[in-house]
């Protein structure tokens, strides 16, 4: 059972296959539920000789924290699937020998992550969980490493990847942007959105991604450009 589409899994596999084997690094999944996406990612890892590190509470969603706009108290503990059950699913459908499971709340486990990461899949539902993942794992991403997210239909989540304030505060850089913001990358789906006016004929079956070296930042302001040119003219005359 998986909460994400096989098309999203194939999109991630295709990017993983493009990464040269000499680039060292693991694949990370945050949020595995029953292990459906884990099984497919593990097969892509088997094919590329990489390790898959899987982070989850295995106790479902955490209680809301701070001003998380999406976390709901009544959803606390939802999506809980026991680690042994996830392992059995991955044994049956994936390549369990490539996987390492790290159980616990992201805020406790992710700060201890050490390995370089070539690709990560974040499917974590709450804003606080996505913040934990980016804050703790982005620094381990290799130069052209990929971050895929499932929350691509929610523009507030996509906004994290375009937020100048977020990237300045966390990493002192400009935002990387997000390919597939709002609608997902083009995988032959038929999703129009918006997600909160759900319509079953508009099925979001995609994924969105960014890469460490991408840029999503507007730097050109004509008035500043003109002021610079005027300054240059006056200093040379």
Sheet strands (E) in 14-88: 26-30, 52-56
129 binds ligand SAM (CB under 6 A): yes
CB of 230 to ligand SAM, least distance (A): 52
Query: Crossing angle of helices 83-93/36-48, nearest 10°?
Result: 50
Among 1-9, 94-102, 173-181, 189-197, the segment contacting ligand SAM (CB under 6 A) = 1-9
Q: Which stretch binds ligand SAM (CB under 6 A): 31-39, 89-97, 185-193, 201-209?
A: 31-39
Which residue's CB comes closest to ligand SAM?
31
Output b/e per residue, 41-54; b: 16+ Cβ within 10 A: bbbbbbebebebbb
Q: Is 152 in the site for ligand SAM (CB under 6 A)?
A: no
For the packed helices 6-18 and 36-48, what is the interaxial angle rounded to 10 degrees? 20
Q: Please, which residue, 104 or 193, has the CB nearer to ligand SAM?
A: 104
**Comparison of 106 and 138: residue with beta carbon closer to ligand SAM:** 106
Q: Which stretch binds ligand SAM (CB under 6 A): 25-33, 87-95, 208-216, 218-226?
A: 25-33
CA angle 212/218/224 to nearest 5° reads 140
* 146 sits near ligand SAM (criterion: CB under 6 A): no
- Cα separation, 127 vs 112, in Å, equals 20
Binding region for ligand SAM (CB under 6 A) out of 2-10, 20-28, 164-172, 213-221: 2-10
- Looking at the Cβ atoms of 62 and 145, the one nearer to ligand SAM is 62
Which of 11, 32, 120, 137 contacts ligand SAM by CB under 6 A?
Answer: 32
Contact 15, 48 (CB under 8 A): no
Q: Which stretch binds ligand SAM (CB under 6 A): 122-130, 178-186, 192-200, 226-234?
A: 122-130
Round to whole Å and give the CA distance between 79 and 129.
Answer: 14
Q: Which is nearer to ligand SAM, 76 or 155 (CB)?
A: 76
What dihedral angle (degrees, nearest 10) is formed by the CA atoms of 81, 85, 91, 96? 60
170 and 135 Cβ atoms separated by less than 8 Å: yes
The footprint of ligand SAM on residues 34-73 (CB under 6 A) is: 36-37, 56-57, 60-62
> C-alpha angle with apex 71: 67 to 73, nearest 5 degrees?
105
Binding site for ligand SAM (CB under 6 A): 2-4, 31-33, 36-37, 56-57, 60-62, 79, 105-106, 123-126, 129, 132
């Amino acid at each position: 059972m998986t909460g994400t589409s096989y098309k999203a899994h194939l999109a991630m596999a295709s990017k993983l296959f493009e990464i040269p084997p000499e680039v060292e690094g693991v694949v990370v999944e945050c949020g595995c539920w029953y292990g459906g996406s884990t099984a497919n990612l593990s097969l892509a890892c088997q094919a590329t000789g990489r390790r898959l590190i899987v982070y989850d509470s295995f106790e479902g969603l955490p209680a809301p924290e701070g001003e998380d706009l999406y976390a709901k108290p009544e959803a606390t503990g939802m999506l809980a699937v026991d680690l042994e059950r996830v392992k059995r699913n991955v044994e049956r459908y994936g390549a369990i020998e490539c996987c390492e499971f790290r159980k616990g709340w992201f805020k406790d486990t992710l700060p201890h992550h050490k390995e370089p990461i070539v690709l990560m899949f974040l499917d974590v539902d709450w804003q606080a969980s996505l913040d934990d993942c980016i804050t703790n794992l982005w620094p381990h991403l290799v130069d052209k490493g990929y971050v895929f997210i499932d929350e691509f239909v929610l523009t507030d989540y996509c906004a994290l990847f375009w937020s100048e304030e977020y990237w300045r505060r966390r990493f002192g850089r400009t935002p990387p942007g997000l390919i597939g913001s709002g609608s997902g990358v083009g995988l032959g789906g038929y999703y129009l959105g918006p997600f909160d006016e759900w319509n079953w004929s508009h099925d979001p079956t995609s994924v969105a991604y960014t890469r460490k070296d991408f840029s999503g930042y507007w730097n050109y302001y004509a008035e500043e450009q003109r002021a610079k040119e005027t300054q240059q003219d006056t200093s040379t005359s």
